[in-house]
Structure 1
Amino acid sequence: MANAKDEIILKGLKENNLKNIDLTIPKEKIVVFTGLSGSGKSSVVFDTLATESRRQMTMNYPLYVRNQMPRYERPQADLMQNLSPVVVVEQKPIGSSTRSTVGTYMDIHPLIRLLFSRIGQPAIGSATDFSSQSSFGRCPECKGFGQVVAPDVNKLVDFNKSLRERAVQFKPLSPTGWQGHWMMTCGLFDPDLPLKDYPEETLELFLYGPPEGERVNAPFHTKDGPHKADWDGLLPRFTRVYINRDISKLKTLTEEDVLAMTTQAPCKTCQGSGLNPEVLASKINGLNIADYDQLELPELLRELEAIQEPMGKSIARQAIPYVTQLIDMGLGYLSLSRKMATLSGGEGQRVKIARHLGSSLNNMTYIFDEPSAGLHPSEGELLIHMLQRIKQQHNTVIVIEHNLAVIQMADEIIEMGPGAGANGGEVIYAGPLAGMTESPTALALQHKLRVNGHPRERTGSYSIQGASTNNLRNVDIRIPKGVFVSVCGVSGSGKSSLILDAFKSRYPESITVGQGGIGTSSRSTMATYMGIMDDIRHTFAKATGQPAGLFSFNSLGACPVCKGKGVLTPEVAFADPVTIPCEACGGTRYSDEALSYRYEGKNIIEILALTIDEAGDYFTQPKILNRVKTLRDVGLGYLTLGQTTSSLSGGEIQRLKLASQLQKEGQIYLLDEPSSGLHADDREKLLDVFQKLVERGNTVIIIEHNLDLLAASDWIIEMGPGGGKQGGSVMFEGTPADMLKADTATARWLREAVEA
């Protein structure tokens, strides 16, 4: 019999929508939590198990250390036993910093810098000297950015206009500002002549200033009379005042405002590396540190393995496992210099996972939040091998997942349900795959893939020519109009570059639903996010004669004790934080006065407690009904108007974003992996939304890996053949039925799913 310590025991779980449930999770197994979006998976795994494990870990530190660490409140549960330390790999995007690269994120870059400081020839000082962020290492020309920013005359100036007509299109230099006024009144330039009609010499002076060494007087007029001043040229002035200056100190301008008027090109002095020439002169086996940065990972691995010098060999040996992990995750086409912000969702997910594979710790609990999100079916196999590897090192692997291939390889499946929100929060199945028969996931596993045999006829087409964004190889393509289009391909193959960059810039009117999160403050609710809270407040104000602010917990209507938060967090010194419902308002957030007024028999709290479905039967205002309908259309009818967006699951957030965009009657909808975070049941509802949109005359284009959505499309485009430098070409265009006969990475999986 297994030792009792070989399982995690959880009893009486009550976080969020959990209904006082008991669970036993076996250790050193792969355990998959599944179920509808909002069924309670995250409440068990993140809000209970992970939070309690972290809380107990911090209790091992002295009080003065704990005070500097994140502090966790004890989850609502009766018993939580036999927990082990947790490593959490979440879905959240990584590395939005412009300087964050694969090398820095994986902690490989510090080792490479150390390597060059020890064995690079000619020798340079310390490892920090090999950084573009150090005062010694940075390139003097571009200040370590690797890019030279210069004003773009065609963005800055409209040559068809005169100065008075705002030929200078940068607001601080327009006629309303003192600099624009100076240009018009200095006597050098005709303020009413279009710039294209200026004599060549005058235009040269206006744009670039006088020749080097010469000065041209341009009197500056104020109410005190003329003052002596020299004209320096529009472009030199823009560079000096707006590019070579800390923009954050200019109150009315942002960096984006300035960059919109510029072009950026690799710095010629450092070839885009951001390093000074002295640092670049130091080499190992003929390569400098910038060369190391640009190598694809298998080439980098060969260079590291070729180092024989004893000191260098010991440093290289520390970097090799990290590089190998990235290659093993199918990311060999990346380089250390690749910016994290430019990775696709699937690439970012695998880099995050690879970062955790280097640990030799065991008896840990690894928690993965939908690790298959953004992965092509072929990459899903790599993921499964990686999860099995972590388990083999005597760790527990807990995965929240909807991907059927990952569910099928689990040792234990725990399905939450039966519904979502208030209808969820129970364990409807716990055990091995063989025992699953009637649950929503069991039915999804028995589901047969159906290929769309009657695709719609296009009503025209959208044309893209010569697209070369990121890795696109001069792509020419005509995308069908008035149909449901899916764009597929392995991670990094160019799907996002084709649709979210090239297509979006050609057709800027497209409505885009991306992968980014939404504002999830505890004060943001379903009603506020959908833009109907103001309408509800004004409805109350009209019916009661009171100010609308009285029906807002962020304004006049806030409970005076908790200030509209609904909870109190008393100061508990070094103890764990405690959150208690506000006794004054009973957690409603509203003052007694606000709750004393009613509309159609309900006070504001009773209105916010209505589900979306109930709200559709209660209100009569067209705007409210329209927005409620879009939420029902995407399958969120079970949520309440007052539910906070911070309590929503990933799948619910994805559908809420879509619902907020469906209010606009667009012609083209672009969606980036809309099935991410959705159970098979929820995917069906989403597919129904897409089909209705197309029936109403719109074009829906999705970037997607899910085979069910691909099979239901009218038209499929596959990018590839690989990722990164190996991608960027159109591998297939046609109907799902045509794809069954094709020989591409996705076609093979589609055929296998149809034949299964």
Structure 2
Amino acid sequence: MEGARTHNLREVSVRLPKHRLTVFTGVSGSGKSSLAFDTVAAEAERLVTGAFPAFVRNRLPQHPAADVDRVDGLVFTTTVDQRRFTGNARSTVGTASDTAPLLRLLFSRIGRPGAGFSPAYSFNDPAGMCPGCEGLGTVDDIDLGRLLDRSRSLHGGAVDFPAFAPGTYRWKRLVHSGIVDPGVPLAELPEDALDTLLHARDLPLTSPGPAYPGHGRFDGVLPRLRDSYLRRTPTRLTREERLALERVVTRRTCPECEGTRLHAAARASLVRGRSIADWSALPVRDLREVAAAVDDPSVAPLLRALRERLDALEAVGLGHLSLSRGSSTLSGGEAQRVRLVRHLGSALSDACYVLDEPSTGLHPHDVHRLLGLLAGLRDAHNTVLVVEHDPVFVLGADHVVELGPGSGAEGGRVCFEGPPTALDGSGTATARALNTPIRFRQHLRTPHGSVAITGARRHNLRGVDVHVPLGVLTAVSGVAGSGKSTLVAEELPHRHPEFHVVGQGPLHGGVRSTPATVLGVAEPLRRAFGRASGLALSWFSANGRGACPQCGGKGVIVTDLAFLDDVRTTCEACGGTRFAPTALTATLHGHTIADVLAMPPAQAAAVLDQAPDAQRRLRWMERVGLGHMAIGRGLDTLSGGERQRLLLARHLAAAGDPGNLRLVLDEPTAGLHGQDVERFLGLCDELVDGGATVVVVEHDLRVIARADHVIDVGPGAGEDGGRIVYAGAPAGLPSVTASVTGRYLPAPRSAEARR
């Protein structure tokens, strides 16, 4: 590859060896993903797509040519990123990992009594789904008392739901149906007419108004709500719709199938005394033992394939999950590893796999096993490209490419390329991080009290009793699935609401939301441009008059391909800036609104010299490790770790005095280079020294060693976890034989261990 210029890459030229495991590393924002995903993978996918006939190409995602002078030697490439699974209620770990079809086939062959062919064991097929819940496992219904205001008429907004608000499309259907008088309060309507208005389905109307559609068929309020919001999960919900659904919808376990989703015949069919629902509810590590105990020569190949798939799930650190677990409940890292399992053992060879930080959310114990699996993928004559920070991956790779030396405009260059053994003398940021030993905190801070959690039994917790100290940095460690997040991200704030949890969940906001809007900087920015130009403030909003008329302020044109992912292409009218020409004629200190939104926080703060509060908020964005990010970047492009640090910046900016803060951070170093981890630890020290209490759920050994107090949860995952293995000074953890985390920490000096 020669002359790659994607995003911040600076004429990058590299040679990537085939049939090898190559790790792209470097500080956050240095250009790793731009090189691996947005150049190599995107160009390979574009070329493969171009080989299909035009009819097929028009139904596949379209990619522009990568900004690179020359790239050759590309092969079929697939990406395994950290996108969460969609909110499809029918998707589970079993279906997403392609394990469920094997299980269904097994039961269709040897289950007794037999229920039929494999579709009879599928909750996604009419032959196998429970008729009561249609294979969802839960029954949703609508609380009419919360949905209707019977003192009002239809004209007065009697149906209290956004889709039926006065003036909406569905409201007009009700008003013009001729079923009831829209000016009469619901409480005064005849009971049969109100019942028809609420419950009718595909009813031929006798006297609809002239504004009613010509087909003259009517669906009542409840069928329309169920069809649009309950029977399927809408891909896009407004905030008002989401809040309204939470208010009017009640959900309970299906009484007919007891949540198993399956028809009675499938539930009655057993293998070794267990139904397919029982098999699916077991943690993967327990299911492996159950499957291993089945000895039936007639299904030997099928059992071998099932065991291999279960072994792979265990090996990537997902042994605590059950196959019935909803895929939408998985974190980004867990979702990526489920996708990875589908590729392991594939008969394909000479393919290229590109992975985005697969160690995210993994304990060091599991990272070694994951590396072994990727090495097996490489040994099957494939090329594996991994964007990673974890030292185990960097040192275990065949080839390393480090981007940097800094982030954003200060990155985008190749600082090192070669075998990991040559990194030691390179002097790069990665070399310095690898050469810095893990050290325990020398002087532990003294807590000023504690809060207690007693008898905690949420999820897999086993009656846990623990004290969380105040005024210090506490690290909560343990293998993935041991119960760490349950203990301090769920149970702790439930018992002590003053603790604020900053996790990696999706940020609420539309496609136009940016760090500037999340931090509350967008409005001061618009005011500054308004003062400088004399134009109305709405001209400087991509949601207002200033929106590009071609793309509606999105910056991209989105093409819906129905069953495929949406195709997003940069808007040619605005060049992706999202603004109309009038908005782009105004300048502030020589910069347009689009220019400022493309700036990192420090540069944008300098432009907003008349808005000190906005400058303060932008400084927090830089301090949490997002100094390389454009303040106008779309939220949908942020990783889980970036979203979390943006939320942390917002919370710190709003709090003002850190002395009153009690924070729980769930894996805050996800996606951070070792150099950035040190910076994050410096921020934690600053907050704690100012009086704050900070609790972090972490796998990073540097963070655990630098804490004042550690709570180790385990010893294993799932049913094998949920207990307190150790609570005390980090230096004492390596001597605890039951602690998996302790095995990966260095043995402390005796003086440290006594502290």
Match of 2:476 among 473, 476, 487: 487
- Please state if 1:71 is matched with 2:62: yes
- For residue 662 of structure 1, what is the amino acid of its counterpart? L
> 2: CA distance between counterparts of 1:549 and 1:255?
27
Cα gap change, 1:591 to 1:376, in 2 (>3 Å): closer
1:745 and 2:732 matched: no
Letter in 2 for 1:109: A
Is 1:506 paired with 2:486? no
Q: Is the contact between residue 148 and residue 265 of structure 1 (CA under 8 Å) also seen in structure 2?
A: yes
Aligned to 1:81, what secondary structure does the other structure show? Answer: coil
* Cα separation, 1, equivalents of 2:514 and 2:378: 39
Native 8 Å contact 1:488 1:716 kept in 2: yes
Q: Residues 473 and 708 of structure 2 are in contact (CA less than 8 Å); yes or no, is this contact kept in structure 1? A: yes
Unaligned runs of 5+ in 1: 1-9, 157-167, 180-221, 231-236, 571-576
Q: Within the alignment, does 1:626 sit opposite 2:606 as a pair?
A: no
Q: In structure 2, do the counterparts of structure 1 residues 327 and 246 end up closer, same or farther at CA, with 3 Å as the change threshold?
A: same
Report the counterpart of residue 226 of structure 2 in structure 1.
246
| Structure 2 equivalent of residue 401 of structure 1 | 388
> Within 2, Cα distance between the matches of 1:223 and 1:705?
59
The CA deviation string for residues 148-205 of structure 1, in whole angstroms up to 9 with x for no partner, is: 6799xxxx9xxxxxxxxxxx9x6447786699xxxxxxxxxxxxxxxxxxxxxxxxxx
> What's the offset of the Cα at 1:101?
2.1
Report which stretch shifted further, 663-672 or 522-531: 522-531
Structure 1 residue aligned with 2:100, among 106, 109, 117? 109
Cα distance between partner residues in 2 of 1:12 and 1:298: 47
Instruction: Note closer, same or farther for the CA distance 1:603–1:487 as it changes in structure 2 (3 Å cut).
Output: same
Structure-2 residue corresponding to 1:467: 456
Aligned match for 2:653, one of 663, 687, 696: 663
3-state SS in 2 of match to 1:701: strand
Deviation at 1:616, TM superposition (A): 3.6
Where do residues 173-192 of structure 1 align in structure 2 (5 Å cutoff)?
Answer: none
Query: Whose Rg is larger?
Result: 1
Partner of 2:217: none
Letter in 1 for 2:362: L
Alpha-carbon distance in structure 2 between the residues aligned to 1:304 and 1:621: 64
Match of 1:675 in 2: 669
Give the CA deviation at 1:330: 4.8
Name 1:695's counterpart in structure 2: 689
Structure 2: stretches of 5+ with no match in the other structure? 155-183, 193-198, 200-219, 231-236, 560-566, 751-755
2:486 to 487, 497, 513: 497
Match of 2:411 in 1: 424
User: Could you tell me whether the CA contact under 8 Å between 2:25 and 2:402 is conserved in 1?
Assistant: yes
**Structural mapping, 1:319-338, within 5 Å:** 319-338=306-325
Query: Contact 2:449 / 2:470 at 8 angstroms: preserved in 1?
Result: yes
Distance 2:187 2:410 in 1: 77
What are the Cα deviations for residues 334-357 of structure 1, in whole angstroms up to 9, with x where unaligned? Answer: 432233344466654443332221
Map Cα deviations across residues 277-326 of structure 1 (whole Å, 9 max, x no partner). 33322233433322322344455445545656665444434433212322
Maintained 8 Å contact 1:38/1:648: no
Matched residue count = 675
Distance in 1 between the 2:187 and 2:326 partners?
A: 53
- Alpha-carbon displacement from aligned partner over 1:581-604 (angstroms, at most 9, x marks no partner): 85x877755555444545456554
The reply on whether 1:375 has 2:355 as its aligned counterpart is: no
Check 1:312–1:175 CA distance in 2 against 1; reply closer, same or farther (3 A cut): same
Q: For the structure 1 residues 753 and 142, does the alpha-carbon distance in structure 2 shift closer, same or farther, using more than 3 Å as the test? A: farther
The 8 Å contact of residues 344 and 496 in structure 1, kept in 2 or not, is answered as: no
- The equivalent residue for 1:614 is 603
SS in 2 for 1:79: coil
**What's the counterpart of residue 415 of structure 1?**
402
CA shift, 1:430, in A, is 0.4
Instruction: Report the Cα distance in structure 2 between the residues aligned to 1:383 and 1:71, rounded to whole angstroms.
Output: 32
Q: How many angstroms apart in 2 are the aligned matches of 1:512 and 1:63?
A: 50
Shift of the 125–43 alpha-carbon distance from structure 1 to 2, 3 Å rule, reads same
| C-alpha separation in 1, matches of 2:89 and 2:407 | 38
Check the 8 A contact 1:377/1:705 in 2, yes or no.
yes
Is 2:134 aligned against 1:139? no
8 A contact 1:717–1:733 mirrored in 2: yes
CA-to-aligned-CA distance 1:80-121 (integer Å, 9 cap, x gap): 101111122112223643332222122222222233333333
Q: Which moved more, 1:621-630 or 1:544-553?
A: 544-553
Cα distance change of structure 1 residues 249 and 263 upon mapping to structure 2, 3 Å threshold: closer
- State the distance in 2 between where 1:484 and 1:417 align: 31
How far the C-alpha of 1:224 sits from its partner, in A, is 12
User: Deviations 1:517-545 (Å, cap 9, x if unpaired)?
Assistant: 44797744443332212111112323443
With 545-554 and 369-378 compared, the bigger mean Cα shift is at 545-554
Question: Any idea what the Cα deviations from partners look like across 1:418-477, whole Å, max 9, x if unmatched?
Answer: 111111111111011232221000111110222112222222222222221111112222
How big is the shift at 1:745? 1.1
Cα distance 1:660–1:749, how it changes in 2: closer, same or farther (>3 A)? Answer: same
- 1:480-559 equivalences in 2 (<5 Å): 480-518=469-507, 523-558=512-547
CA pair 753-435 structure 1, distance change in 2 beyond 3 A: farther
> Would you say the 8 A contact 2:395–2:421 is kept in 1?
no
1:24 is aligned, of 15, 33, 40, to: 15
Distance (whole Å) between structure 1 residues aligned to residue 636 and residue 111 of structure 2: 50
Q: Does the 8 Å CA contact 2:82/2:333 hold for their aligned counterparts?
A: no
The letter of the residue matching 1:327 is E
Aligned-partner SS, 2:712: strand
After superposition, residues 278-297 of structure 1 pair within 5 angstroms as: 278-297=265-284
- Contact 1:450-1:754 within 8 A present in 2 as well: no
Tell me how far apart the structure 2 counterparts of residues 650 and 90 of structure 1 sit (CA, whole Å): 12
Shift of 1:505: 2.1
1:206 aligned residue: none
1:692-749 residue CA offsets vs partner (Å, 9 max, x unmatched): 2222322111111001111111111111010011111111111223324433111221
1:208 corresponds to which residue? none
Which position in structure 1 is the counterpart of 2:78? 87
Give the direction of change, closer, same or farther, for the CA distance of 1:296–1:21 in structure 2 (3 Å limit). closer
Instruction: Tell me which residue corresponds to 1:204.
Output: none
Q: Find the aligned partners of 2:580 and 2:441 in 1 and give their Cα distance.
A: 55
The range that moved more, 446-455 or 105-114, is: 105-114
The 8 Å contact of residues 320 and 481 in structure 2, kept in 1 or not, is answered as no
Q: Distance in 2 between matches of 1:483 and 1:79?
A: 53
Q: Is residue 458 from structure 1 mapped to residue 438 from structure 2 by the alignment?
A: no
Give the SS at the match of 1:246.
helix
Please point out which of 233, 247, 270 is paired with 2:257. 270
Secondary structure of the residue that 2:13 maps to in structure 1?
Answer: strand
The secondary structure found in structure 2 opposite 1:11 is coil
Answer yes or no: is the 8 Å Cα contact 2:551–2:571 preserved in 1.
no
Q: Is the 8 A contact 2:389 2:673 kept in 1?
A: yes
- Among 699, 708, 711, the alignment partner of 1:705 is 699
* 1:745 partner amino acid: V
